[in-house]
Every structure is written in C-alpha cells, then in structure tokens.
Amino acid sequence: MHIQTIKTTRIVSLLLLILAITGCQTNAKKTDAVMQETHKRNLQASLLKTEKIKLTAENNRLLAQEANLKELNRTLKNEVQEKTVMVEQLKNQSIKVTMLNSILFSSGQYKLNKQGAIAIEKLVNVMNKHIQQGGIVRIIGHTDNLNVSKHNNTFQDNWDLSSLRAASVVRLLVWRHHIAPNSFRVEGHADTEPKASNATKTGRAQNRRIEILLTSK
C-alpha cells in the first residue's frame, strides 16, 4: 500500500513537472511571438519613417529644381529669345543649359569673350543654389566636324578645342566667383554628339556649343 502511494505520488509529481515545463514552453513561445511582432512593427515604423524622409527630400529637391528652372528662364530670357541659349529640364530631372559658341567665344579662340562672360555669370546664382542642394555642375564642350588644326595650330584637334573651351567656362566660375572647384566636372566631346547636320553652315553653328548640366552626384 505504501509502495503504491509512493508510485502514485511520483506519477503525479512527474505529470505536474511535465505540465509546468509545457506551460513554461508555451509562455516562452507567447513571449517570443510578442517580441517578434513588436520587432516587426518597430521595423515597419522605421522603414515608413525612412521612406517618408526620402520622399520629403525628393519633393524638396524637385521644388528647388523647378525654382531654378524658372530663374534661369528669367535671367536668360533675352538669350533664349535670340535662340543662342536653350534651357530645358531632362527626364532625370537635371537641368541643361545649352549655349552656342557664337555668344561665348571669338572665332578660333577658347577663352571666353566679354559677351560670353556676361552670359555665363547669369548662371552663378542658380549654380550656387544647386551646389548647396548637393548637386554638381557638368560643363561639356562640343564642336562641329571641321578639322580645327588645319586653320589654327593652337589646337591639336577638336578634342583639344572642346575641352579647353569647357575649362575656360569653369575658370571664370572658380576664379572670379569663387565656386568650389570640386563642384564641377569638365568634359570635351569634340564632334561626337552633333545636334544638327554638319553638312551645312547653320548645322555646324548649332553643333558648336557649351552644355551646362545641373545634375546630382
């Protein structure tokens, strides 16, 4: 009788222990599930906050670009009307200002003339704003397909001429207006990207140009 009681007691104790362990495991699983759900919610909230910040920043950038575009069209109104300058917004939201060499350089020269310096200086205010907003400025020189070295031994070829003219624009902005040099990228594309046919005098005049891109880094 006594032995049977002991066995029963042991069995009951074992069952109670199993129930206790099972209960602890259940509570642990519940606690783990709650922690995982809390972590998931916190992560989602953090992602939403990050996305909201990104959207706000992008919206502010677009508004700033729109304001810059309007200011450029206003300050370059005369040149745009005379069709020596074109201001446009590209699909990637960059702003491109195209200036014909006829208003920037004397024939066969790579240094900006007085009229060219005045035209470029009209961009300074917007350039400074764009750079402060985290952007950079690409200055790209283009030529027609005529061999410049045949008429002017100052230049080896059109690569040389297009690069020197683009660099001349940057020097004015850096030396006279003290814009940080690392804000610019200077490129010379020679005659590789014509806008019009090089078969005509009018077409070649359109191809001789400086493009100024206000773009992101």
The yes-or-no verdict on residue 1 having pLDDT over 60 is no
Q: List strand residue ranges (DSSP E) for the chain, in order.
A: 85-89, 95-100, 135-142, 184-188, 209-216
Which residue pairs, CB below 8 angstroms and at least 24 apart, start in 179-187? Answer: 179/124, 179/127, 179/128, 179/131, 180/131, 183/127, 183/131, 183/136, 183/137, 184/136, 184/137, 184/138, 184/139, 185/136, 185/137, 185/138, 185/139, 186/139, 187/138, 187/139, 187/140, 187/141, 187/163
20 close to 27: Cβ distance less than 8 angstroms: no
Instruction: Map tokens 């109670």 to a residue.
Output: 16
The yes-or-no verdict on residue 143 having pLDDT over 80 is yes
pLDDT digits (tens, 9 = 90+) for 38-79: 777 777 777 776 777 666 666 766 677 888 999 999 999 999
Q: Name the pLDDT band for 162 (thresholds 50, 70, 90).
A: very high
116 close to 141: Cβ distance less than 8 angstroms: no
Q: Which domains does the chain have, with CATH numbers?
A: 76-216 (3.30.1330.60)
pTM of the model: 0.74
pLDDT digits (tens, 9 = 90+) for 92-109: 889 999 999 999 999 889
Percent of the chain past pLDDT 90, that is, above it, reads: 60
